[in-house]
Amino acid sequence: MWKEKGQNIIEYALMLALVVGIGSFIYTQGYGDNISAVFNNAGSLLEQVNKSQEEAKEEAEKAAAREADRNYADHLGDLLKNAVSKEIITMGNGSSVYIFVQNQPNPKYNKYKNWHMNGASTGSDVKVNGKNYINGGFVNMLEAVGDAVGDDYSSAEVKQDGVYWYGVQIKKDSTDSYTLSYMDSNIDSYKNNYSGFDINQANAPYLIETWTDRQRQ
């Protein structure tokens, strides 16, 4: 038994000597810095992976917010195009109508519905259900173009950071030609405490559709 213990001690001593010898060789040959560099590089790679994951998460969140806003813009575009096609809204040549969602409540509607909505018409002869747009105003137009189940627009909001408003415009280009533009703005172009906006501050449209009266028949 003592013989076995002696052998074990000798084996441990030989293993220790081997480890010390290898360590001494590494440092005397200048490999110590290389090993340290490997560990440092591994740490840097881990940091880059974590950073990349955070950046990917942020990009995914931005993409989801943009998709949500543009899906709602699609909804508004469908409502507005349908209203024009059914002549709920009629327009003179060169006139336009707009529906926008903004990132602040519009004080015109806070008293009633706290809408984050805005809109306007430009040009001549814009009528909603046969009545001049100016007389009925934006709320009258929204209610006229609302869907069959009654869209009160209370869910409208801007989900993207850095976007002040987004929405749609229909312009009557000529006797029977129309253009539907989807646009947004990252410029604070509000007027009169969020009750108006400068359409000229919109970014270039990210989507455009055109059609004619003949195509809808």
In a domain, 173, yes or no: yes
In a domain, 60, yes or no: no
In a domain, 59, yes or no: no
Residues 75 and 124 in one domain: yes
Query: Residue 19 sits in which domain range?
Result: 2-53
> Cα dihedral angle (199, 200, 201, 206), rounded to 10 degrees?
80
Computed over every residue of the chain, the mean pLDDT equals: 80
Residues 75 and 48 in one domain: no
Residues 96 and 46 in one domain: no
Please report where in the chains the tokens 């060789």 appear, as a residue: 25
Residues 101 and 206 in one domain: yes
Kindly report, residue by residue over 53-65, the tens digit of the pLDDT: 778 888 899 999 9
Residues 101 and 13 in one domain: no
Is pLDDT above 60 for 86?
yes
Q: Which residue has the higher pLDDT, 98 or 154?
A: 98
pTM for this prediction? 0.72
Count of domains for the chain: 2
In a domain, 61, yes or no: no
pLDDT given for residue 174 in this prediction: 79
Residues 95 and 195 in one domain: yes
Alpha-carbon span 124 to 161, nearest angstrom = 35
In a domain, 172, yes or no: yes
Instruction: Give the burial class of 34: count Cβ atoms within 10 A of its Cβ; 0-12 exposed, 13-18 middle, 19 or more buried.
Output: exposed
Residues 6 and 112 in one domain: no
In a domain, 159, yes or no: yes
The phi, psi pair for 155, rounded to 5°, reads: -85, -5
- The pair of three-digit structure tokens given for residue 52, joined into one six-digit string: 């990349």
How sure is the predictor about 9, in pLDDT bands with cuts at 50, 70 and 90? low
The rounded percent of the chain whose pLDDT value lies above 70 is 72
Residues 87 and 32 in one domain: no
Give the mean pLDDT of 2-20.
55
Residues 27 and 113 in one domain: no
In a domain, 151, yes or no: yes
In a domain, 80, yes or no: yes
Kindly report, residue by residue over 166-201, the tens digit of the pLDDT: 999 999 987 789 999 999 999 998 888 888 888 888
Is pLDDT above 60 for 31?
no
Alpha-carbon span 84 to 98, nearest angstrom = 12
Give the mean pLDDT of 104-131.
84
How sure is the predictor about 111, in pLDDT bands with cuts at 50, 70 and 90? low
Give the mean pLDDT of 107-114.
74
Residues 13 and 88 in one domain: no
Most confident of 11-25, 37-51, 67-81, 139-153: 67-81
Residues 203 and 98 in one domain: yes
Is pLDDT above 60 for 2?
no
Residues 48 and 78 in one domain: no
